[in-house]
């Protein structure tokens, strides 16, 4: 009986498997975007057919916060672009596509997206969880992808359609080491998750600490997703660091620091932009207490003057996008959301500059609307950029994250700042100079 | 030496959490022969029941008790509504595994749709840290160890010395013969599902307390290590599951303290493979091969 499958059982099993596959497919495939489409109509040109930018991130699974985070960048941009008449008369639509944060799901989802969507003009996505798997697919399909991955594999990429606004992890690690020194800590420890996202910045953080002459009292790599890190926490407590330079996913960080707080004291934490994500703060704040987290946390992030004109435009559009972005204010200081907003604006301006929404054509114009050049009009909004281009002027878009000066590998570097969370907002405590970061990198 | 004592002590805490869940997993398998990979989802849903109650002001330990009952009811409901029709139609062990995976996915995604992709924590301070020589444990950890001791002992005693336990073991070995001998197999199976769900509920809340924060998929993410403990002890053997949990818990913590924290899983699962090479049936139980789904 154990090996027999009854006839009726086969049908039941088939139904179950089909249901499971359908469920998985629902998750992977393009999510309904009726509300997005509705808003896309807006005041965009009535003649053009919609063009689509995919938010290709995890909307389910352990990294399910990545999708809403990117959506918080895309929808405000969509709103502003359509309010300005769309791109060459085409209304823009942001379309969520669930990568599930797993290459096994992301690759078929990307292939389906490329094959099925004739109006796809760009992609936001390919975080560190899936970038190495899906970037080649979009490269082959000649569709620009603005990625938030920090992986060093893309530091010198020759992929023509890959673009990265935020600094790579290697630069982030050096900046974290530089921040430790600037804050006056001499006994420093490092704690990084063993996943690809966290490991990108670990080597340069460790080498930076050593290069700056700080004492590295502990260096831990955590196997992510464990039930316990008590032994690691005990070893850290024994090392008595003044500060811990750290990057790990929310779950791992929460468990580790909770157990560290039980066996010793949580010292100052020097964290990266991940710590500014609402999910990370909720997880770790819930584990060790929000007050302690806010007191000990020094986030080292790309310097974005939160008072810049582009940032103000972004936040006001974000808050007006509550229909597509639940609780929009939670994302207003999230650097990844801000970078995704800039990415969409850049793609739209490049299309205007190229007089074409064809990805293989406008891709070449991305640097022309972002690079500084003599006589270029500096613009901070899509509407201003579109008007200047229509008037035959050259433009330089200075975004909400600041100037976007892409190098030959399509990476735009940033300045870094140390930020603290206070009174419900992130506030710049100090900006790291190039000399301070160079001292950590040895360059 | 101090480091070893700490690591072993920490390993016992981890083992306590794993043991509760592993015993529930293996108890239900031993009776029904359904390898229920939706077990992690039952843990998670129970954990959220405790979260909602705890957020409303209920003490976490009372919330854990209610969550255990909720886990039991959910477990029985899943079996009666979903698994039982398939079993009646003769779907085999492998087919049932696929169905349980589907149910787990449905539960996780449905829960995520309700609660969102966020992290949650109980309002339950770990309590004062207590020092035992070189070992530091919180009151909460001690409570979890005590709960694990009580729960796993009760299960073992019940299986060993009560009529119900004998009936469960009878159904486990040969359901048809047990039925012929007058054992109400349907009720026994339902009770096994209920007890399994109760343990999933307790185990889920204990796990979520321990790791401090959780999401709609956390239970399923930790299921592999729970199954590892059950398999190591001998799938189908509750006392084996406890021993398996102890081995997994202590090996991972000692590995992290003395070797390389990054490779603690490598060490634990290497031990698992080595043990299974020597004793393919695990430390206690008979090999599950050729078993059929009980009905």
**What confidence tens digit (pLDDT) does each residue in A94-148 have?**
999 999 988 999 999 999 999 988 899 999 988 888 999 999 999 999 999 999 8
pLDDT given at position B41: 96
Going by pLDDT thresholds of 50, 70 and 90, the confidence category of residue A32 is very low
Interface of A with B in 216-255 (CB under 8 A): 220-223, 225-232, 234-235, 250-251, 254-255
Is a pLDDT exceeding 50 seen at residue A12?
no
Is a pLDDT exceeding 90 seen at residue B37?
yes
Q: In sequence order, which residues have a C-beta less than 8 Å from that of residue B22 and are 6 or more positions away? A: B226, B227, B229, B230, B233, B241, B242, B244, B245
Is a pLDDT exceeding 60 seen at residue B295?
no
Q: Which residue has the higher pLDDT, A250 or B289?
A: A250
pLDDT given at position A28: 38
Residue range A330-349: mean pLDDT, rounded: 93
Q: In sequence order, which residues have a C-beta less than 8 Å from that of residue A343 and are 6 or more positions away? A: A73, A122, A124, A146, A163, A165
Q: What angle do CA B29, B34, B39 make, to 5 degrees?
A: 75
Q: Which residues of A touch B138 (CB under 8 A)?
A: 262
Range with the poorest average pLDDT among A37-51, A223-237, B45-59, B135-149: A37-51
Is a pLDDT exceeding 80 seen at residue A175?
yes
**Spatial separation of the C-alpha atoms in residues A276 and A284, rounded to whole Å:** 11
Picking from A5, A11, A16 by the largest number of B CB atoms within 10 A of its own CB, the best residue to mutate is A16
A5 in contact with chain B, both atoms CB, cutoff 8 A: yes
Is a pLDDT exceeding 70 seen at residue A6?
no
pLDDT given at position A17: 38
B178 in contact with chain A, both atoms CB, cutoff 8 A: no
Contact B261 A222 (CB under 8 A): yes
The model's pLDDT over A183-212, given as tens digits with 9 standing for 90+, comes to 999 999 999 999 877 888 899 999 999 999
pLDDT given at position A68: 93
For residue A92, with 0-12 CB atoms within 10 Å meaning exposed, 13-18 middle and 19 or more buried, which class applies? buried
pLDDT given at position B285: 60
Going by pLDDT thresholds of 50, 70 and 90, the confidence category of residue B3 is confident
- Percent of chain A having pLDDT more than 90? 61
Q: How many CB pairs under 8 A join A and B?
A: 175
**Tokens describing residue A42:** 């807006």
Query: How close A100 comes to chain B (CA, Å)?
Result: 11
Is a pLDDT exceeding 60 seen at residue A29?
no
Is a pLDDT exceeding 60 seen at residue A33?
no
SS3 label, residue B23 = helix
pLDDT given at position A36: 38
Q: Are B78 and B87 in contact (CB under 8 A)?
A: no
For residue B165, with 0-12 CB atoms within 10 Å meaning exposed, 13-18 middle and 19 or more buried, which class applies? middle
State chain A's mean pLDDT as an integer.
86
- Percent of chain B having pLDDT more than 90? 46
- Domains annotated for chain A, with CATH where assigned, are 21-164 (3.40.50.2300)
pLDDT given at position B293: 56
A279 to chain B: closest CA residue? B118
Query: How close A363 comes to chain B (CA, Å)?
Result: 33
pLDDT given at position A47: 60
Range with the poorest average pLDDT among A268-277, B11-20, B135-144, B149-158: B135-144
Is a pLDDT exceeding 90 seen at residue B261?
no
Whether the complex's predicted ipTM is more than 0.95 is answered with: no
B109 in contact with chain A, both atoms CB, cutoff 8 A: yes
Going by pLDDT thresholds of 50, 70 and 90, the confidence category of residue B288 is very low
Q: Which residue has the higher pLDDT, A152 or A417?
A: A417
pLDDT given at position A339: 93
Is a pLDDT exceeding 90 seen at residue A384?
yes
Query: How close A63 comes to chain B (CA, Å)?
Result: 8
**Tokens describing residue B44:** 């998670």
Report yes or no on B52 lying in a domain: yes
pLDDT given at position A391: 95
pLDDT given at position B138: 87
B118 in contact with chain A, both atoms CB, cutoff 8 A: yes
Could you say which of A61, A227, A286 has the minimum Cβ distance to residue B119? A286
Query: How close B211 comes to chain A (CA, Å)?
Result: 5
Range with the poorest average pLDDT among A214-223, A279-288, B264-273: B264-273
**Spatial separation of the C-alpha atoms in residues A429 and A420, rounded to whole Å:** 6
Which structural domain range is residue B121 located in? 20-217
**Tokens describing residue A298:** 């020094």
Q: Which residues of A touch B93 (CB under 8 A)?
A: 2
Q: Which residue has the higher pLDDT, B68 or A40?
A: B68
**Spatial separation of the C-alpha atoms in residues B260 and A222, rounded to whole Å:** 9
Structure letter (DSSP) for residue A331: G
Q: How far is CA B278 from the centre of its chain?
A: 25
Residue range B277-290: mean pLDDT, rounded: 66
B295 in contact with chain A, both atoms CB, cutoff 8 A: no
Dmax (CA) of chain B: 58
B226 to chain A: closest CA residue? A227
Interface of A with B in 62-101 (CB under 8 A): 62, 64-65, 67-68
Could you say which of B138, B213, B291 has the minimum Cβ distance to residue A251? B213
Number of domains in chain B: 1
Q: Which residues of B touch A229 (CB under 8 A)?
A: 256, 261
Is a pLDDT exceeding 50 seen at residue A299?
yes
Contact A284 B213 (CB under 8 A): yes
B264 to chain A: closest CA residue? A223
**Spatial separation of the C-alpha atoms in residues B160 and A308, rounded to whole Å:** 72
pLDDT given at position B294: 57
**Spatial separation of the C-alpha atoms in residues B247 and A275, rounded to whole Å:** 35
Could you say which of A27, A222, A254 has the minimum Cβ distance to residue B212? A254
Report yes or no on B1 lying in a domain: no
- Total-model pTM: 0.75
């Amino acid at each position: 009986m154990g090996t027999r499958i009854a006839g009726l059982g086969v049908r039941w099993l088939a139904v179950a498997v089909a249901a499971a596959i359908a469920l998985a497919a629902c998750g992977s495939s393009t999510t309904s975007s009726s509300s997005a489409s509705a808003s896309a109509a807006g005041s965009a040109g009535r003649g053009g057919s919609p063009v689509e930018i995919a938010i290709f991130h995890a909307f389910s699974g352990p990294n399910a916060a990545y999708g809403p985070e990117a959506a918080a960048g895309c929808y405000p941009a969509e709103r502003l672009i359509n309010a300005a008449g769309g791109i060459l008369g085409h209304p823009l639509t942001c379309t969520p596509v669930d990568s599930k944060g797993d290459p096994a799901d992301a690759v078929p989802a990307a292939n389906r997206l490329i094959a099925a969507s004739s109006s796809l003009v760009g992609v936001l996505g390919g975080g560190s969880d899936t970038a190495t798997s899906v970037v080649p697919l979009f490269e082959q399909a000649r569709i620009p992808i603005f990625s938030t991955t920090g992986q060093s594999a893309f530091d010198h990429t020759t992929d023509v359609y890959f673009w990265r606004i935020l600094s790579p992890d290697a630069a982030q690690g050096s900046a974290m080491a530089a921040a430790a020194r600037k804050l006056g800590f001499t006994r420093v420890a490092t704690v990084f998750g063993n996943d690809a996202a966290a490991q990108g910045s670990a080597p340069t953080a460790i080498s930076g600490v050593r290069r700056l002459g700080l004492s590295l009292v502990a260096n831990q790599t955590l196997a992510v997703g464990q039930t316990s890190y008590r032994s690691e926490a005990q070893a850290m407590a024994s090392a008595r660091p003044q500060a811990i330079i750290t990057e790990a996913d929310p779950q791992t960080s929460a468990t580790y620091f909770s157990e560290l707080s039980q066996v010793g004291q949580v010292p100052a934490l020097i964290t990266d932009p991940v710590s500014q994500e609402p999910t990370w703060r909720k997880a770790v704040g819930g584990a060790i207490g929000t007050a302690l987290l806010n007191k000990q946390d020094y986030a080292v992030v790309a310097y974005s003057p939160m008072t810049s004109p582009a940032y103000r435009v972004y936040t006001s559009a974000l808050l007006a996008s509550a229909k597509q972005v639940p609780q929009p204010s939670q994302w207003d200081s999230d650097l990844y959301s801000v970078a995704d907003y800039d990415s969409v604006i850049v793609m739209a301006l490049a299309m205007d500059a190229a007089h074409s929404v064809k990805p293989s054509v406008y891709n070449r114009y991305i640097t022309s609307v972002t690079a500084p050049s003599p006589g270029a009009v500096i613009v901070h909004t899509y509407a201003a950029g579109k008007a200047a281009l229509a008037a035959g002027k050259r433009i330089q878009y200075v975004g909400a994250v600041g100037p976007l000066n892409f190098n030959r590998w399509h990476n735009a570097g940033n300045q870094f700042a140390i930020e603290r969370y206070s009174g419900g907002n992130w506030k710049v405590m100090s900006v790291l100079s190039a000399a301070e970061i160079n001292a950590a990198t040895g360059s | 030496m101090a480091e070893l004592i700490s690591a072993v002590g920490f390993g016992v805490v981890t083992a306590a959490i794993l043991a509760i869940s592993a015993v529930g997993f293996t108890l239900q398998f031993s009776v029904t022969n359904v390898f229920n990979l939706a077990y992690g989802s039952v843990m998670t849903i129970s954990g959220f029941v405790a979260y909602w109650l705890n957020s409303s002001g209920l003490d976490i330990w009372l919330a854990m008790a209610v969550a255990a009952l909720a886990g039991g009811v959910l477990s029985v409901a899943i079996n009666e509504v979903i698994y039982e029709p398939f079993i009646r139609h003769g779907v085999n062990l492998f087919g049932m595994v696929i169905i349980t995976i589907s149910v787990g996915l449905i539960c996780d995604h449905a829960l995520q749709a309700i609660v969102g992709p966020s992290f949650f924590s109980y309002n339950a301070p770990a309590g004062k840290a207590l020092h035992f020589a070189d070992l530091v444990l919180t009151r909460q950890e001690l409570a979890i160890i005590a709960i694990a001791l009580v729960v796993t002992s009760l299960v073992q005693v019940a299986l060993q010395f009560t009529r119900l336990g004998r009936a469960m073991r009878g159904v486990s070995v040969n359901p048809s013969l047990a039925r012929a001998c007058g054992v109400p197999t349907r009720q026994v199976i339902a009770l096994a599902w209920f007890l399994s769900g109760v343990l999933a509920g307790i185990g889920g809340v204990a796990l979520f307390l321990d790791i401090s924060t959780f999401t709609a998929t956390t239970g399923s993410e930790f299921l592999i290590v729970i199954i590892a403990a059950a398999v190591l002890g001998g799938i189908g053997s509750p006392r084996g599951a406890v021993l398996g949990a102890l081995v997994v818990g202590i090996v991972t913590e000692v590995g992290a303290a003395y070797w390389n924290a990054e490779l603690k899983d490598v060490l634990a699962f290497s031990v698992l493979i080595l043990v299974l090479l020597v004793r393919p049936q695990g430390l206690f139980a008979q090999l599950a091969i050729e078993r059929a789904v009980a009905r």
